[in-house]
Amino acid sequence: MEAEAAKYIGAGIACFGMAGAAIGVANIFGNFLSGALRNPSAAPSQFSNLIFGFAVTEALGIFSFLVALILLFVV
């Protein structure tokens, strides 16, 4: 198989990593929502933790996108 074709196939496979990140992010927001619906007065104080948890989880999805970009444009 030529290197060019292998790069494109590898980039496509690398995108599967984003599925895990998507589930993780949805987990965080879902738990925040269920907690906020039980205790609405405590929700605003946890908003910063929500945004922080979202960002560090999304980072892993971005890492997999980065692997795909590296395969396409750098290798």
| Residues 60, 10: Cα–Cα separation, whole Å | 18
The residue from 24, 63, 71, 75 that contacts another protein (CB under 8 A) is 63
If binding is defined by CB under 8 A, does position 55 make contact with another protein? yes
CB of 67 to another protein, least distance (A): 10
Which residues make Cβ contacts (< 8 Å) with residue 31, sequence separation at least 6? none
| Residues 66, 29: Cα–Cα separation, whole Å | 24
If binding is defined by CB under 8 A, does position 50 make contact with another protein? no
What is the contact surface with another protein in residues (CB under 8 A)?
A: 48, 51-52, 54-56, 58-59, 62-63, 65-66, 69, 73
